[in-house]
Structure 1
Amino acid sequence: MHYANFAHINYIKPIPHIMKTYFLNMTWLLLLFLAFPGQRVSAQENDQQLAAVILRQDSLFWQAYNTCDLTTMVKFFSDDVEFYHDKGGITNGIDALVSSFQKGVCNNTDSFRLRRAVVKGSIKLYPMRESGVIYGAILSGEHLFYVQDKGKKERAEGLAKFTHLWILKNGAWKMTRVLSYDHGPAPYINERTAITLPTQALQKYVGKYKGPQTAEMNIQAGKGILLMIIGSKQFELYPEKEDVFFSKERDLTFEFVKQGNAVKKLIIRERDEIAETLEASK
């Protein structure tokens, strides 16, 4: 019925005995709520206390993980732990899990280190109850993994989701089921700042460049930026210094090397390491 038709409906007076029954029912519900005011609050307080405990345990575990403190890491798992990894398969039992850590991320910490960091705002916690009593909790979220090779700068390498089942056993919280999945590359977050260069300064770098991997690269001047054109693809390069430009999409820098006033080379670096050197062919 269209809302305009309500104007033609006659007003119907309420029937006294129906209204009386309605108010009696509402009063009864109000009395029930007032008689048990602590139940909802108590459950909320229990959930908050649970979250504090689990998040604390989770934090301590990852501190041990990031330093490859296997002795401490073991304490957070149950003996019958099951670990499910979307790339590495299934690992059953605490002994097999420790062995996988020893052969994997903790194999050679002198030359290689792996660090895990949670993605802010991704953590969710779900209490598990039986007959109203908390017996466990599910913790889920996303985390980033950073890699640092000896003598090199740390870099974000991967992004994944996790789901951990924590169970209260003999008064202690233990991870019993661990799921690690949806692994992929870490999103690049640009931390470089662009400066402003006049069009005249940009024009110095315009031309064609050739290298062992890149048959031909065409550099053109845009509005405050350089345009790198390879085949049918175009990329924007932002000035960090007068002769150094960067990409906002990947950790790439482009350094133009001059001889006198003429540009002779273009050095491309990825993660601060030389990826390719191109010769100017203007």
Structure 2
Amino acid sequence: MKTFLSFLLLCCCQVLSAQQTDQDLLALITKQDSLFWDAYNRCDTTAMASFFTEDVEFYHDKGGANIGLASLAATFSKNLCGNNSWHLKREPVEGSYKVFPLKKDQVIYGAILHGEHVFYIVETGKGPRLDGQAKFTHLWLKRDGQWKMKNVLSYDHGPAVYHSRRKVVLLPAALLQTYAGRYKGPQTADAAIFPKDGQLILKIGGKEFSIFAEKEGVFFDKERDLTFEFDKEKKLTVKENGVAAEVLNRVK
């Protein structure tokens, strides 16, 4: 019995140790990942290159392969960060990350990071515009005490599905009624707005769209990054990706 209890205790300690090690690895790899993508979003190509091994292999299902750090760094400089008027901004898809430890003789020597991310196009003078979504798998290896990416797979690129982060609030019916009317702008000849079921309906060219209150005077579309801001001067400012796209005047 004593021997059996000792065996159980040993197994329990090994499991707890492995869990702690795996948790530490998860924190380490996700931290390294966030540092790399921070450099990516700033187009700091020198910092970006420092996260890869010299013999890195990068495979992209649309852009082809880059073998070796010199080739990959050149791609970063000439293509990704070669235009001063625009660049890409990347964000991870929440909850998509998975880290798998690689071990030999119970010693961790690497990790596989898998996840999904979305990309935005950021142009000078404009807000970020959602561009696409993809999956990725990265092989991280520990070499000479440093963690770097040895293999990169970037695949399943396609259009991104917009998910609004704004929260709907309920406004009094009397307040919603104050926004009702007909509006006209440089691009929109006639737009009707009226309340229905606790929200506003925007009707343009026979089509109706629901817009939802974020706060008093500010409404949004759940399907696109569009906001509608009403002011006391009876004007409606439509913003796309945070940038004013059109200002409409209330005419009736």
- Common topology (TM > 0.5): yes
* Aligned 1:1-282 pairs, distance under 5 A: 29-34=4-9, 38-109=13-84, 111-183=85-157, 184-185=159-160, 187-191=162-166, 196=171, 198-199=173-174, 202=177, 205-206=180-181, 219-229=193-203, 233-238=207-212, 245-254=219-228, 268-271=238-241, 272-274=243-245
Corresponding residue for residue 12 of structure 1: none
- Alignment CA distance shift 1:256-1:128 (3 Å): closer
CA distance in 2, matches of 1:253, 1:152: 15
Deviation at 1:227, TM superposition (A): 2.0
The structure-2 alpha-carbon separation of the partners of 1:268 and 1:62, relative to structure 1 and needing over 3 Å to count, comes to closer
SS for the counterpart of 1:139 is strand
How high is the sequence identity, in percent, across the aligned residues? 43
| Alignment size in residue pairs | 249
Deviation at 1:101, TM superposition (A): 0.8
Gaps of 5+ in 2: none
Root mean square deviation of aligned Cα: 4.0
The structure-2 alpha-carbon separation of the partners of 1:101 and 1:251, relative to structure 1 and needing over 3 Å to count, comes to: same
Distance apart, 1:138 and its partner CA = 0.5
Aligned-partner SS, 1:249: coil
* Unaligned stretches of 5+ residues in structure 1: 1-25
**Contact kept? 2:185, 2:247, Cα under 8 Å:** no
State the shift of 1:198 in Å: 4.0
| TM-score, length-scaled by structure 1 | 0.67
1:106-146 CA deviation, whole Å, 9 max, x = no partner?
2134x334333334433221111234332211012233434
Q: Which has the higher contact order (CA 8 A, sep 6+)?
A: 2
- Larger of the two Rg values belongs to structure: 1
Instruction: Work out whether residues 206 and 221 of structure 1, in 8 Å CA contact, stay in contact via their aligned partners in 2.
Output: no
**Contact 2:180-2:192 within 8 A present in 1 as well:** no
3-state SS of paired residue (2:80): coil
1:182-212 deviation line (CA, Å, top 9, x unaligned): 3332523243765635458638735697986
Q: 1:113 to 1:223 in 2, by over 3 A?
A: same
